Amino acid sequence: MRYKILTVDDSKTVRIIVKKAFRTFDCDIIEASNGVEGLAGAAKERPDVILLDVTMPVMDGVEMLTKLKADPALRSIPVIMLTAEGGRDSVIKIARIGVRDYIVKPFREEVLVDKVGRVIDLKPLSENPLKAKSILDSATILVVEDKPAIVQQIQDGLKHTPWKIHGVATINESVDFCTRNQPDVVLVSLSLPDDAAFTLFGLICTNVRTKYTPVFGLVVKTEIQAQQQAQQIGFTSIVTKPLDIPDLEAKISKAMNLDTSQRYFTTDQDVFVLKMPEIASQSSVNEMLTYLKPKMAEAVDAGICKVILDLHELKRLDVIAIKALLQALQLCRELGLQHVLVGNPQIASESQGFEDTKSWTFANSLEEAKASLARTSPSFSAQPAAAGA
Amino acid sequence: MPTIDGISDMVIRTTMTHAIQEVMRTMLNQSADFHSEIDARKPGDTASETAGSQVVGTVGFIGDIDGLIYLYLDTEFAEEAAAHLLGLTDEELEQVGDEAINDAIGELTNMTVGTFKNQLCDRGYHCKLTIPSILRGSNFSIEPTSSVTRRTYHFEVGRHRIITDLLMKIDR
């Protein structure tokens, strides 16, 4: 359910500033230009919060507030005054009628969002809620770390991704960064002086713009106490040093709920390609298998009936990789898909060492595989007798 | 009831300076510097400061003390300020027209006068704001009746200037 915010102000400029302030949040802004329109809007729309000016023509904000509070159906709607009337006595008088908060103009948009965020649970609006972000989309990763070498390792390790890695050394710099940008993930060193990581975590969690941002703690593997403390207060995940970059990348992808299927599955004209990663770790294979059935079904649904299992980047054919490939081959057979394996000399050689794979034959390149598929019967494949074991 | 005699020239000047600086910093992200006081008894001085095409916002305050503040912005600054406030490009601002600029300058004036009079309220001079209005034109002057005290200040905001013209009733 989208929250509704009613802004009652005779100045169109203020109403536009209010809309601008909340444009990145999942809420609707309803406008009224005086107290009469405001009461009508409140009765019709039942907003979750009202932003109310005082000096307006037709009916001013004080009269509207008094009438609102006298109406049993509307009195529970929280009201935040947003007005240039800020003398001490005026504020006290209006506060006594019953307001949740009071903002005196001039005001900053961040203050407005912060105050409204204390009344309703504002959620950031994703750019396109119908489409999950993928690993091909850009993202902003903030690294709060006073050791430049660690920041450099992360930047180097993730340079193949479209993510922008920003390194800052202090809590003040990170707060400054977060006011100007909205990071998708924050990595903060738990060894910053004066427990700064935990202070920053608190600030991130209480700021309406960043409260849903995943926060990772960066810590040396042996610092168990700091890890436990971070987990207890709700850090999204812990990343240990020395850094395991593939693991970090997987954690960031998971925290951002990214669609990572493009790492393993592509469609090349009328051919569905499954690409094994360079190292078939248990976590990467699990990730790949999560997408296997739905992606292959999607391809078949789109009229594709040719599959290439691309192992040419795979460095080692071990049990983990073999199990995953056997599942993929089984699925190909169940769906009646033509399939071809692409390998390299190392993989071809290693495949001879396993009962399940010794009958596999490999094309040397995607082009060779495609040419083979173009013929009725592919010459490079995993024969049923061997693959079915 | 306190009288206007209790407000010194220095208090008026610092109160106005604070109001202008607060509004410029918060709403336009710009710093404002007090430049000079204009001798309003010499019409020529005010006229030379406000020469050229102007957008002038006006908001009054009524209560224990009554007064009116005019905020003079040259048209170029008014357009820049409106574009900033509304988050519009120059082309978009051109499309929305003068009405949007008038409303934006009216609101800037409302905020400035509000900040000015709220400080007076906290000194015991209770008063309320009136609804903003806008004047547009070139080479015009505003002449008050004799029963007002008048203070006119020149502020520098980047490469632009703002003139504030305060008129307060002195006999109640």
Q: How confident is the model at residue A377 (pLDDT cuts 50, 70, 90)?
A: low
Q: Do A17 and B131 touch (CB under 8 A)?
A: no
What is the per-residue pLDDT for A259?
87
Backbone angles phi, psi at B41, to 5 degrees: -75, -15
Domain limits for position B122: 4-169
What are A338's two structure tokens? 């033509």
Q: Facing residues of A25 across strands?
A: A124
Q: Which residues, in sequence order, are CB contacts of A197 under 8 Å at separation 6+?
A: A144, A188, A189, A190, A191, A217, A230
Length of chain A: 389
Q: Which residues, in sequence order, are CB contacts of B75 under 8 Å at separation 6+?
A: B52, B53, B54, B55
Q: Determine the average pLDDT of the residues in A53-59.
A: 95
Average the pLDDT over each of A65-74, A178-187, B76-85 and give the range with the smallest value. Answer: A178-187
Backbone angles phi, psi at A228, to 5 degrees: -65, -40
Q: Determine the average pLDDT of the residues in A45-61.
A: 96
Domain positions in chain A = 3-117, 139-255, 261-387
Q: Element (H or E) spanning A342, and its range?
A: strand A338-342
How many alpha carbons fall within 13 Å on the CB side of residue A269?
5
In percent, how much of chain A has pLDDT > 70?
95
Assess contact for B106 and B57: CB atoms under 8 A.
yes
pLDDT greater than 50 at residue A12: yes
Provide ipTM, 2 decimals.
0.90
Hey, is the C-beta of B131 within 8 angstroms of any chain A C-beta? yes
What is the per-residue pLDDT for A91?
92
Q: Determine the average pLDDT of the residues in B151-168.
A: 93
pLDDT greater than 90 at residue A44: yes
Q: B9: burial class by Cβ within 10 Å (0-12, 13-18, 19+)?
A: exposed
Average the pLDDT over each of A208-222, A357-371, B35-49 and give the range with the smallest value. Answer: B35-49
Residues of chain A contacting B107 with CB distance shorter than 8 Å? 11, 13-14
CA distance A170 to B163: 42
Specify the CATH number for the domain of residue B49.
Answer: 3.40.1550.10
CA distances from A103 to A47, A94, A118, A122, A142 (A): 19, 12, 13, 18, 31
pLDDT greater than 80 at residue A386: no
pLDDT greater than 80 at residue A324: yes
CA distance A323 to A349: 18
Q: How confident is the model at residue A125 (pLDDT cuts 50, 70, 90)?
A: confident
Superfamily of domain A3-117: Response regulator (3.40.50.2300)
pLDDT one-digit tens code per residue, B29-86: 999 999 988 876 666 666 666 778 999 999 999 998 899 999 999 999 999 999 999 9
What is the per-residue pLDDT for B61?
95
Backbone angles phi, psi at B38, to 5 degrees: -100, 135
Beta strand pairing status for A3-8 and A27-32?
parallel
What is the per-residue pLDDT for A130?
44
**Shortest Cα distance from B99 to chain A (angstroms)?**
10
What is the per-residue pLDDT for A24?
86
Q: Do B114 and A14 touch (CB under 8 A)?
A: no
Q: Determine the average pLDDT of the residues in A282-296.
A: 88
pLDDT greater than 70 at residue B126: yes
pLDDT one-digit tens code per residue, A145-161: 999 999 999 999 999 99
Q: Which amino acid is at B30?
A: Q
Q: Which amino acid is at B16?
A: M
pLDDT one-digit tens code per residue, A290-309: 899 999 999 999 999 999 99
The CATH class for the domain spanning A261-387 reads alpha beta
Backbone angles phi, psi at A340, to 5 degrees: -140, 145
pLDDT greater than 80 at residue B170: no
The count of CB pairs under 8 A between chains A and B is 72
Q: What's the maximum distance between 2 C-alpha atoms anywhere in chain B?
A: 51
Average the pLDDT over each of A144-148, A167-171, B136-140 and give the range with the smallest value. Answer: B136-140
Backbone angles phi, psi at B89, to 5 degrees: -80, 170
Two domains, one topology: A3-117 and A139-255: yes
Q: How confident is the model at residue A376 (pLDDT cuts 50, 70, 90)?
A: low
pLDDT greater than 70 at residue A208: yes
Q: How confident is the model at residue A387 (pLDDT cuts 50, 70, 90)?
A: very low
Length of chain B: 172
Assess contact for A3 and A113: CB atoms under 8 A.
no
Q: A146: burial class by Cβ within 10 Å (0-12, 13-18, 19+)?
A: middle
Q: Do B129 and A90 touch (CB under 8 A)?
A: no
What is the per-residue pLDDT for B30?
93
**Nearest-Cα residue of chain A relative to residue B104:** A13
Assess contact for A305 and A332: CB atoms under 8 A.
no
pLDDT greater than 70 at residue A133: yes
Assess contact for B162 and B57: CB atoms under 8 A.
no
What DSSP assignment string belongs to A60-109?
Answer: -HHHHHHHHHH-TTTTTS-EEEEES---HHHHHHHHHHH-SEEEESS--H
pLDDT greater than 50 at residue A112: yes
Q: How confident is the model at residue A257 (pLDDT cuts 50, 70, 90)?
A: confident
What are B44's two structure tokens? 């020529």
Q: Which residues, in sequence order, are CB contacts of A180 under 8 Å at separation 6+?
A: none
Average the pLDDT over each of A261-265, B7-11, B61-65, B79-83 and give the range with the smallest value. Answer: B7-11
Domain topology for A139-255: Rossmann fold (3.40.50)
What is the per-residue pLDDT for B43?
62
In percent, how much of chain B has pLDDT > 90?
60
Q: How confident is the model at residue A388 (pLDDT cuts 50, 70, 90)?
A: very low
pLDDT greater than 70 at residue B28: yes
Backbone angles phi, psi at B87, to 5 degrees: 70, 40
Q: Facing residues of A300 across strands?
A: none
Residues of chain A contacting B26 with CB distance shorter than 8 Å? 106-108
Number of domains in chain B: 1
Sort residue A14 into left (φ over 0), alpha (ψ -120 to 50) or beta: alpha
Residues of chain A contacting B98 with CB distance shorter than 8 Å? none
**Nearest-Cα residue of chain A relative to residue B61:** A85
Q: How confident is the model at residue A89 (pLDDT cuts 50, 70, 90)?
A: confident
A317 DSSP 8-state letter: -
What is the overall mean pLDDT for chain A?
Answer: 90
Higher-confidence residue of A281 and A377: namely A281
Return the residue in B23, B129, B134 with the most chain A beta carbons within 10 A, the one to mutate for interface testing.
B129
Helices (H), B7-158: 9-28, 43-49, 75-86, 90-96, 98-121
